Amino acid sequence: DADVTQTPRNRITKTGKRIMLECSQTKGHDRMYWYRQDPGLGLRLIYYSFDVKDINKGEISDGYSVSRQAQAKFSLSLESAIPNQTALYFCATSDTGYTYGYTFGSGTRLTVV
């Protein structure tokens, strides 16, 4: 099994719909992150959580919300999806040091039509 599992892998949704992307990890890390990747823009941080009771906005949090259900689970919601939220979404975990970097999931490709 993968260390970081994201579901679904692909999703097409309509403008205005609410959608949730889920992430679970088996690394035992306290720290979890949500990123989006767009062509020509690189990876950008949406939200991060350093433990179950700690949730923080990243660079581009508008239009998104998150929930940290447990140490191993971190979900991202789009309350009312819009076409410019079409992107590749990655969940990641890390420990407190830089030695091993992030461990990323395989991503969710989201298309909003």
Partner 1 sequence: EDQVTQSPEALRLQEGESSSLNCSYTVSGLRGLFWYRQDPGKGPEFLFTLYSAGEEKEKERLKATLTKKESFLHITAPKPEDSATYLCAVTTGGYQKVTFGIGTKLQVIP
Q: Which stretch binds partner 1 (CB under 8 A): 12-20, 36-44, 66-74, 77-85?
A: 36-44
1 binding partner 1? (CB under 8 A): no
Range 18-46 burial, b when 16+ CB lie within 10 A, else e: ebebbbbbebebbbbbbbbeeeeeeeebb
Angle of CA points 11, 101, 84, to nearest 5°: 30
CB of 96: closest distance to partner 1 in angstroms?
9
Q: How many residues bind partner 1 (CB under 8 A)?
A: 25
Q: Kindly tell me the burial class for residue 13, based on how many C-beta atoms sit within 10 Å of its own C-beta (0-12, 13-18, 19 or more).
A: middle
60 binding partner 1? (CB under 8 A): no
107 binding partner 1? (CB under 8 A): yes
Angle of CA points 94, 32, 52, to nearest 5°: 120
CB of 10: closest distance to partner 1 in angstroms?
10
Give contact residues for partner 1 (rule: CB under 8 A). 4, 31, 33, 40-45, 48, 56, 58, 90, 92, 94, 98-107
